[in-house]
Amino acid sequence: MVDEQLVARGISDPTIIHAMLNIPRHLFVPAKLQREAYADKALPLGPGQTISQPFIVALMLSSLDLNKDQTILEVGSGSGYLACLASLLVKKVYGVELSQTLVESATDVAKKLELQNVEFICADGGYGYEDKGPYDRIVLSAACNEIPRPLLKQLAPDGKFIFPLTDPDGEQQLVLLSKEDDKLSEEVLGSVRFVEFQTS
């Protein structure tokens, strides 16, 4: 998976590659789909839920300039795959997910992998997780048609926020926002396909 799907497509950060090699993707997918766990495609987790394709996950992480001093918030953490990968790269990860079933499953996998710095919370991600903010990096792993303002408010100075944005025609683009001196700059990283962001 790593050589053919990531390195061959330009993912070169050794910390990202190390994380992808050390967090087994098959642990995050339903048992009936484990034979497909290392294919470069999204897989269904349940109604309206998927685990993103490995390349897109690696692209998102590599775009954030991660280091061991940072705290990350992931909204729409789903299976917990991205959050667990990020836990090898940063100080602390909080994953917010609306589905209690997925939160419990992600927590179980994190414990199995002995990851001490990742925590999953069952809550409406539209509000972020203000209790532990601000965050150096924020990931929204579901598509929205406008930037969720509560999440922007929880982004630290010099923070970065990555998310898929749906345009009026229904097309999605992966957008990276960088914050500097309370000003935001925007970079479009390419076309993607995510499930739509759900709130309670």
- Active site (catalytic) residues: 52
Q: How far apart are CA 133 and CA 180, in angstroms?
A: 17
Number of other residues whose CB lies within 10 A of the CB of residue 94: 23
List the end-to-end C-alpha distance of the chain, in Å, as a whole number. 35
**CA-based torsion, 196, 62, 162, 126: positive or negative:** positive
| Separation of CA 63 from chain center | 12
Q: How far apart are CA 120 and CA 73, in angstroms?
A: 10
Single-letter residue type at 138: I
Nearest to 92 by CA among 76, 120, 71: 71
